[in-house]
Amino acid sequence: MTRRVLLTDGAARDLDEWYAAAYARGGPAAASRALDLIEQVVGRLAAGDVRDEPLPQLRELGITAERQVVTSDRLRVVYRASGDSVVVVLMAPVARSFQSLLQRRLLDA
C-alpha cells in the first residue's frame, strides 16, 4: 500500500533551506544529492518502509503519534502517519536544537 506524503508549510520551508544550504556548501552537485536524499526518505515514508521511533522529547509527555526518521546524512524528518497519508512536520539537521521549533510546528500542523 502506498501512502500519500504531504508537507506542512514549515516542512516545505525546511526543504528549501536544506537545499539552499547544500547548494551554498557544494554547488549544484551537492544540492542534487540533498534532493535525492529527500526523495529517498519520502519514498520510504510512502511505502511504509521506515525504521522510525517516537521523539524522546515528546515520549516523555506521553505523545507518540509523531515519529522521526534520521538519515545517514544526519537529517531528522518528523512526521505523523494517519491511515493512507503521512504528514511531514519538520526536516532539520540532527545537530540543530529543535525543542521549541518542534513544539511550534506540531501546534501549527
Tens digit of pLDDT at every position of the chain (109 positions):
789 999 999 899 989 988 999 999 999 999 999 999 999 999 999 998 887 777 777 777 787 788 888 887 778 899 998 889 999 998 888 766 566 666 666 666 5
Supply the CATH number for residue 37's domain: 3.30.2310.20
Place of cell 501549527: 108
List the beta bridge partners of residue 7.
88
Residue 13 has phi, psi (to 5 degrees) of: -65, -40
| Interaxial angle between packed helices 9-47 and 99-108, expressed in degrees from 0 to 180 and rounded to the nearest 10 | 90
Domain that holds residue 73: 4-108
Positive or negative: CA dihedral 90, 95, 99, 100: negative
User: How many of the other CB atoms lie within 10 Å of CB of 10?
Assistant: 18
Structural domain count, the chain? 1
pTM of the model: 0.80
